Amino acid sequence: MAGDRAASIDPDALSWYEATARQRVLALTDPGSFREFLPPTERRMSPHLPLFDLPRAFDDGIVVGRARLDGEPVLIAAQEGRFMGGAFGEVHGGKLVGLLRAALALKPKAVLILFDTGGVRLQEANAGETAIAEAMRAIVDVRVAGIPVIGLIGGRAGCYGGGGLIAGTCSRLAVSEGGRISVSGPEVIETNKGAEEFDSRDRALVWRTMGGKHRRLIGGADAFCADTVSAFRKAARDLVGRAPAFDLDTLEAEQARLEARIDRFGDCRDATDVWARLGVNDPESVPAMDTDAFAETVARSPEADHDAR
Amino acid sequence: MESLTFRHTTKKPLPGSVPSAITGVVASGNLEILLERVLPPDACEVAIETPIAGYGDVWEAVVADFVARAQPGGLRISINDGGARPDTVSLRLLQGARLMEA
Amino acid sequence: MGEWRGERRARDARIAAGRAHADGKVVPAGAVVDLLESILRPGDRVCLEGDNQKQADCLARGLSACDPDKIHDLHMVQSGIVLPEHLDVFETGIAKRLDYSYSGPQGARIAKMLYGGQIELGAVHTYLELFARYFVDLTPNVALIAGVSADRNGNLYTGPNTEDTPTVVEATAFKNGVVVAQVNEIVDTVPRVDIPGDRVDFVVEADTPFYVEPLFTRDPAAMTETQILIAMMAIKGIYAEYGIRRLNHGIGFGTAAIELLLPTYGEKLGLKGKIATHWALNPHPTLIPAIESGWVKQVHCFGSEVGMDRYIRERPDIFFTGADGSLRSNRAFCQTAGLYACDMFIGATLQIDLMGHSSTVTQSRVAGFGGAPNMGSDPHGRRHPSDAWMKAGREGQIVGDPALMRGRKLVVQLVETFGDKLVPTFVEKLDALELAKKIGLELAPVMIYADDVTHIVTEEGIANLLLCRDADEREQAIRGVAGYTEVGRGRDRTKVEALRARGVIRRPEDLGIEPLDADRALLAAKSIKDLVHWSGGLYEPPARFRNW
Amino acid sequence: MTLAEILASLFPQGHAVAVREGLVTGTGPFGDGPMHVVGIDGDTPLGVDGALVLSRAVLNAVRTGDRAPILVAVDSDSQRMSRRDELLGLNECLAHLAKALLLADRSGHPTIGLIYGHTAAGAFIATALATRVLAALPGANPSVMDLPSVARVTKLPLDTLEEMAKSTPVFAPGLDNMVAAGAVHVVLDPDRPLGSQIRAVIDTIEAEDVRDRLGAERGGRLVAHTVAAAVADQARLG
């Protein structure tokens, strides 16, 4: 299916943050290689949104299919963060779960998940929540079968709620500066605990706490990309080649890694305190760093690179 | 939600052979348009689902102008509207037609 | 006769009373209420400084905390009704009458209070007009102003946001009034003297730095294809057509899109150096790419903009800066510059009627106009020619002696046919008229009158009202660019096509613009972060505009 | 039932299960061998620290290689909502706990969730929903978000939502709706000994993830299973 002129858009110039899910998929994978499952023409839309007088999307906000990356077969899912905040509804979740289950039979080189989600779609909350649990179990099955599951995060909606948990289940994650990975969103924390706990309008605070740079520095993500599709493509190719196994050793290592993180940074109030303890000379300068300068900083962070995921 | 359907006869089919295309996103003030080359070459049907009721005459005018301008014969066009303004609708329709002409 | 110094004596008495709460001129923040209660008298005319940008917020809180039994029935004469406290004083009876210019964020509440009769409204002015009245019939008894720092003698440094301060002080201090300044800090020596100390009677060391609204920051990430299309049409169909070099941009995404298209689309059209070189403009962050690309020769500013201070400091060839290096803005002078020295004003509005009258007042919001009625008017006192001005004059004048023809300022309305929530921009009748009737205003709050407007640009095309020869043509020209609004659909298609044939209406295709080319890829910056990069890291956007 | 009552019913001869700061860990005798117990008690929110305590206990159980059942008993709040938790990577810690349970399951430990009180959102996913089979006791109240919060987010009046909740299980909180969605496999009888009921649950564990199929059968999640199957079909057919 033709979509959004992506074929004519240069992946080097196309902003991941600005691109639609469909544009990301088409520009990320080898030209002409993408085949969509349950494409919009099949009109698998949410059966629930009309009850709330809300518009539906032909793909329920997620594009799934198969494609090639450098000639190798991959399965790919991409959430559309602008439709209902990329949230997991029943059809949306079912498509991701089905794709992951298909991987066991198809044995692709990797499964790529292009997260862009606020979490569970409240209008179909129980279906969304359960689908997230199903997706996590399916990812584990896929990883055990030796197929890397790579998460790419850099969209408008970030990767929140259950999306953050699914991301934490992946073999590897690539993130851009605009990407955020978290469970509770800033507004949720503020609503429940007050603006003193978290001022959601302080966007610099949001990005310091949840954004791509912080996640990369503490090892919450394995690659940091410039905000272009080609940068994500490069990261995805690289991460496919170095995915950790899913076994007791890996999880013991992750246990040790996360415990050490809390020991080391558990009393930090702000990300800049964490970065200072990581040995970053001028923590205040991190948000303004360009990709190259940040890469040098990451190279000096002892926590950034590991196989404990 | 309000459903609207408009049927037009065109003077010619839309050039090109792309069987289907989609453009836009269902978001506040935006819309998605699915175009499928499934109708007779002189027919065009536009079906709209919109959360904002009471703008039927505006949709009618926008669709009529688009059909007159693009002559999208053969297309069934399905729209999921997120409350887009008419100018955005026109723009997306033209973008969709261009994708189908490729 | 014989009494020539009554005002002066009254002033001396107020100051003497105020001194009880001061150490010399310096008043601690905790004593603001005492100070204000001792220097104010019921019925005073008071200017509480605040406009669409900076706010004397510490003094506003102090005034609203005064005892209404002691201080009441004040007549507020001020640029902006922006802070909640600006209206609180009317609810408590501290203030009664109001003359002002701008009330963006409080527009809905002010409308309610006007309907409820809690405010006696004098008029909604344009800035320059209100400033003028400070010197004629609205001279303040007390001015409450804001600055960055002061010394113990009251010498005041306003910082980059000088804005209204010199004008307010001029009118108050030299006509027996009392001037109170809130400052962020008391220093031994101020970086530069914006207001000499002998014009300032009291200096309050505020508990927090005065608030400044980043009103002129537009996030490129939010710009739509429609706004880009409109901007392309404006550049090609107006800027290039008339060779506009000296100009002012109003607030809005449309004008911000134009700023971001200059180094890309404008460059492609070969317009660099030929348009948009000299500006009366706040330091819009979206102008940074054009400045960095060498488009802009100079910019004089009404006020500053949050986060732009370091950038401005490093670009003294472009901006007006003091010996200390920081921006010197001045609202009164910049408004004058916009009136007399600019060939074009281009801005947006909420409603336009069939004749081209426009207003931002709706039934539920009285937002005020700020500078738009002034910038968006044709100054009949202008006596210097320019190509753009003369061309517009020729287009608009069809009778009379060509030797006596004068030019016209271009006043351009840049609007999308529908606003938020599908509210039409084009209407048969302005809400402002209804509002005026309801609250008994003698003069309806019209922002720009039809006879000042020369062009209307929408996504459907450009209507050149200068070329319309009668009221019917004018109406059809407006309907002809009003899109799918009721006004637009009510057009006479034959007449509109005739106007198009004459070039009164020009569609994108008439200008050689393909609407599908209106892509965000054309923006020189697509995000606030891009603007930071363009500035070499000198622009420091406020936290709420960041996503990094 | 309270946690103490549950443990008493499960382990009539006594047990070594302790609750510290709302976190439940320990073992009890179950049939021929032990049963490991982890969980959250007292409507406690789950933060980074608690998640790692529980995952440590699960990994320790896996390390023993005893293939004994692991019971995940839950009466929790949602995830702990704080700046500190997010700063420290709550998503990683909750996912890690879920992965530990999924690993245990794959390593031969039957994992059984038991909701006996509240649970919600991220805490629910990381614990009870990460088990192979999820049981609940009457009175349990699993949810994604409570209706007043849903009302705030969806901008719909609360009474409208309450009315809709009656006919639309897919978004409404509560045990019945989670059962209908297939998330909760079975509701236990509090009046009968839990040990035998849990044993029966373990004996009927299926290899596949059956939750979407259950949701379709029970009418609480009618299309998810079909959609997932359709995607898998189209993937196979290429």
The confidence score (pLDDT) of residue A13 equals 83
List pLDDT tens digits, range C177-196.
999 999 999 999 999 999 99
More confident residue, C436 or A71: A71
CATH number at residue A149: 3.90.226.10
Searching chain A, which residue's CA lies closest to the CA of residue C532?
A: A288
Residues from chain C contacting residue B99 (CB–CB below 8 Å): none
The confidence score (pLDDT) of residue D214 equals 96
User: Looking at the domain assignment, is residue A143 inside a domain?
Assistant: yes
Q: What are the tokens at C537?
A: 């890291």
Domains of chain C: 24-205 (3.40.1080.10), 220-530 (3.40.1080.10)
The confidence score (pLDDT) of residue A9 equals 64
**What is the tally of structural domains in chain A?**
1
Tell me, yes or no, if B20 comes closer than 8 A to chain A by beta carbon.
yes
Searching chain A, which residue's CA lies closest to the CA of residue B23?
A: A4
The confidence score (pLDDT) of residue A2 equals 62
Q: What is the mean pLDDT of residues A27-40?
A: 96
Considering CB atoms only, which of B55, B83, B91 is closest to C226? B91
The confidence score (pLDDT) of residue A5 equals 47
Q: What are the tokens at A240?
A: 């496919």
Counting every residue written for chain A, the total comes to 309
User: Which residue matches tokens 């801005």?
Assistant: C347
Q: What is the mean pLDDT of residues D207-234?
A: 96
Among A64-73, A83-92, C46-55, which is the least confidently predicted range? C46-55
Give the number of other CB atoms < 10 A from CB of residue A191. 17
Q: What is the mean pLDDT of residues C135-161?
A: 97
Searching chain B, which residue's CA lies closest to the CA of residue C517?
A: B95
Residue C503 has pLDDT above 50, yes or no: yes
Residues from chain C contacting residue A211 (CB–CB below 8 Å): 547-548
Helices D211-218 and D224-237: crossing angle in degrees, nearest 10, is 130
DSSP helix/strand/coil, C384: coil
What is the interface size between B and C, counted as CB pairs within 8 Å?
Answer: 40
Considering CB atoms only, which of B52, B91, B94 is closest to C422? B52
User: Which residue matches tokens 């179950």?
Assistant: D30
Domains of chain B: 2-101 (3.30.230)
Residues D7 and D39 sit within 8 Å (Cβ to Cβ)? no
List pLDDT tens digits, range A126-147.
999 999 999 999 999 999 999 9
Backbone φ and ψ of D153, nearest 5°: -75, -45
The confidence score (pLDDT) of residue D174 equals 92
Cα distance between residue A49 and residue D50, in whole Å: 36
Give, rounded to a whole angstrom, the gap between the first and last alpha carbons of chain B. Answer: 33
Which of C100, C118, C138, C128 is CA-nearest to residue C366?
C100
Which of D173, D175, D171, D172 is CA-nearest to residue D186?
D175
A83 with B27: Cβ contact below 8 A: yes
To the nearest whole angstrom, how far is the Cα of D232 from the nearest Cα of chain A? Answer: 5
List pLDDT tens digits, range D77-87.
999 999 999 99
Tell me, yes or no, if A13 comes closer than 8 A to chain C by beta carbon.
yes
Residue B74 to residues B14, C386, C459, Cα–Cα distance (Å): 7, 55, 29
Cα distance between residue A143 and residue A171, in whole Å: 7
Q: What are the tokens at B98?
A: 């261009």
Residues C346 and C247 sit within 8 Å (Cβ to Cβ)? yes
Give the number of other CB atoms < 10 A from CB of residue C402. 7
Residues C342 and C408 sit within 8 Å (Cβ to Cβ)? no
Residues from chain A contacting residue D49 (CB–CB below 8 Å): 262, 266
Q: Which of C229, C232, C422 is the best substitution to test chain B (most B C-beta atoms within 10 A)?
A: C422
Cα distance between residue D170 and residue D180, in whole Å: 8
To the nearest whole angstrom, how far is the Cα of C307 from the nearest Cα of chain A? Answer: 14
Backbone φ and ψ of A65, nearest 5°: 175, -165
Helices A125-144 and D90-106: crossing angle in degrees, nearest 10, is 60
Residues A297 and A280 sit within 8 Å (Cβ to Cβ)? yes
Q: What is the mean pLDDT of residues C514-530?
A: 93
List pLDDT tens digits, range C20-73.
999 999 999 999 999 999 999 999 999 999 988 899 999 999 999 999 999 999
A54 with B51: Cβ contact below 8 A: yes
List pLDDT tens digits, range C236-294.
999 999 999 999 999 899 999 999 999 999 999 999 999 999 999 999 999 999 999 99
Residues C136 and C161 sit within 8 Å (Cβ to Cβ)? no
Residues from chain D contacting residue A164 (CB–CB below 8 Å): 90-91, 94-95, 122
Cα distance between residue A16 and residue C346, in whole Å: 34
Cα distance between residue D231 and residue C97, in whole Å: 69
State the pairing for strand pair B75-81/B31-37.
antiparallel
Under DSSP, the state recorded for A243 is P
Residues D171 and A124 sit within 8 Å (Cβ to Cβ)? yes
Residue A58 to residues A39, A51, A239, C40, Cα–Cα distance (Å): 8, 17, 32, 66
Considering CB atoms only, which of C421, C459, C489 is closest to B87? C459
Q: Which structural domain, as residue segments, surrounds residue A239?
A: 6-181+221-244
Cα distance between residue C235 and residue D200, in whole Å: 76
Domains of chain D: 3-137+188-205 (3.90.226.10)
The confidence score (pLDDT) of residue A4 equals 52
B87 with C489: Cβ contact below 8 A: no
To the nearest whole angstrom, how far is the Cα of B43 from the nearest Cα of chain C? Answer: 24
Cα distance between residue C515 and residue A146, in whole Å: 49
State the pairing for strand pair C142-150/B31-37.
unpaired
Chain A neighbours (≥3 Cβ pairs under 8 A) are B, C, D
A3 with B23: Cβ contact below 8 A: yes
Cα distance between residue A188 and residue A199, in whole Å: 11
User: Looking at the domain assignment, is residue A168 inside a domain?
Assistant: yes
Residues from chain C contacting residue B94 (CB–CB below 8 Å): 515-516
The confidence score (pLDDT) of residue A3 equals 56
In three-state form (DSSP H/G/I as H, E/B as E, the rest C), the secondary structure along C173-198 is HCCCCEEEEEEEEECCCCCCCCECHH
B80 with A2: Cβ contact below 8 A: no
D144 with A127: Cβ contact below 8 A: no
To the nearest whole angstrom, how far is the Cα of B37 from the nearest Cα of chain A? Answer: 11
Which residues 6+ apart lie within 8 Å of C405 measured at CB? C393, C394, C397
The confidence score (pLDDT) of residue C393 equals 95
Searching chain C, which residue's CA lies closest to the CA of residue B62?
A: C484
Residue spans of alpha helices (H) in C402-442: 431-439
Considering CB atoms only, which of B86, B94, B98 is closest to C483? B86
Considering CB atoms only, which of A1, A5, A22 is closest to B20? A1
Residues C417 and B87 sit within 8 Å (Cβ to Cβ)? yes
Residue A7 has pLDDT above 50, yes or no: no
Searching chain A, which residue's CA lies closest to the CA of residue C517?
A: A5
Residues from chain A contacting residue C537 (CB–CB below 8 Å): 288
Q: Which amino acid is at C260?
A: L
Tell me, yes or no, if C421 comes closer than 8 A to chain A by beta carbon.
no
Tell me, yes or no, if C417 comes closer than 8 A to chain B by beta carbon.
yes
State the pairing for strand pair C461-464/C505-506.
antiparallel
Considering CB atoms only, which of B83, B85, B94 is closest to C516? B94
Instruction: Note the pTM of the prediction, 2 decimals.
Output: 0.91
Q: Which residues of D208-236 are buried (b: 16+ CB within 10 A; e: fewer)?
A: ebbbbbbbbebebbbbbbbbbbbbbebbe
Residue D163 has pLDDT above 90, yes or no: no
Chains B and D touch (3+ CB pairs under 8 A): no
Residue A94 has pLDDT above 60, yes or no: yes
Tell me, yes or no, if C225 comes closer than 8 A to chain B by beta carbon.
yes
Helices D90-106 and D48-64: crossing angle in degrees, nearest 10, is 20
Residues A170 and A150 sit within 8 Å (Cβ to Cβ)? yes
To the nearest whole angstrom, how far is the Cα of C545 from the nearest Cα of chain A? Answer: 7
Considering CB atoms only, which of A5, A41, A58 is closest to B32? A58
Which residues 6+ apart lie within 8 Å of D174 measured at CB? D141, D142, D143
State the pairing for strand pair D33-46/D23-30.
antiparallel
Residues from chain A contacting residue B34 (CB–CB below 8 Å): 40-41, 58
pLDDT band at C439 (very low <50, low <70, confident <90, very high): confident
Residue A285 to residues A209, A271, B47, C150, D122, Cα–Cα distance (Å): 15, 12, 52, 32, 33
C224 with B94: Cβ contact below 8 A: no
To the nearest whole angstrom, how far is the Cα of A5 from the nearest Cα of chain C? Answer: 11
Residue C317 has pLDDT above 60, yes or no: yes
Q: What are the tokens at C397?
A: 């004048």
Residue C543 to residues A259, B16, C380, C450, Cα–Cα distance (Å): 32, 49, 44, 40
Tell me, yes or no, if B32 comes closer than 8 A to chain A by beta carbon.
yes
Searching chain A, which residue's CA lies closest to the CA of residue D229?
A: A98
Residues B75 and B14 sit within 8 Å (Cβ to Cβ)? yes
Which residues 6+ apart lie within 8 Å of A278 measured at CB? A217, A218, A301, A302, A303
A64 with D231: Cβ contact below 8 A: yes
pLDDT band at C137 (very low <50, low <70, confident <90, very high): very high
Searching chain A, which residue's CA lies closest to the CA of residue B37?
A: A41
To the nearest whole angstrom, how far is the Cα of C223 from the nearest Cα of chain B? Answer: 13
Residues from chain D contacting residue A95 (CB–CB below 8 Å): 227-228, 231
Tell me, yes or no, if C516 comes closer than 8 A to chain A by beta carbon.
no
Backbone φ and ψ of C518, nearest 5°: -75, 85
Searching chain A, which residue's CA lies closest to the CA of residue D174?
A: A126
Residues C290 and C271 sit within 8 Å (Cβ to Cβ)? no
Q: What is the mean pLDDT of residues A268-281?
A: 95
In three-state form (DSSP H/G/I as H, E/B as E, the rest C), the secondary structure along C5-27 is CHHHHHHHHHHHHHHCCCECCEE
Give the number of other CB atoms < 10 A from CB of residue B74. 22
Q: What are the tokens at C237?
A: 């169909």
Tell me, yes or no, if C481 comes closer than 8 A to chain B by beta carbon.
no
Q: What is the mean pLDDT of residues D223-227?
A: 97
Searching chain A, which residue's CA lies closest to the CA of residue D148?
A: A122
**Which regions in chain B score pLDDT beneath 50?**
none
What ipTM was estimated for this complex?
Answer: 0.90
CA C117 to the chain's CA centroid: 27
Cα distance between residue C283 and residue C293, in whole Å: 16
Residues from chain A contacting residue D56 (CB–CB below 8 Å): 255, 259
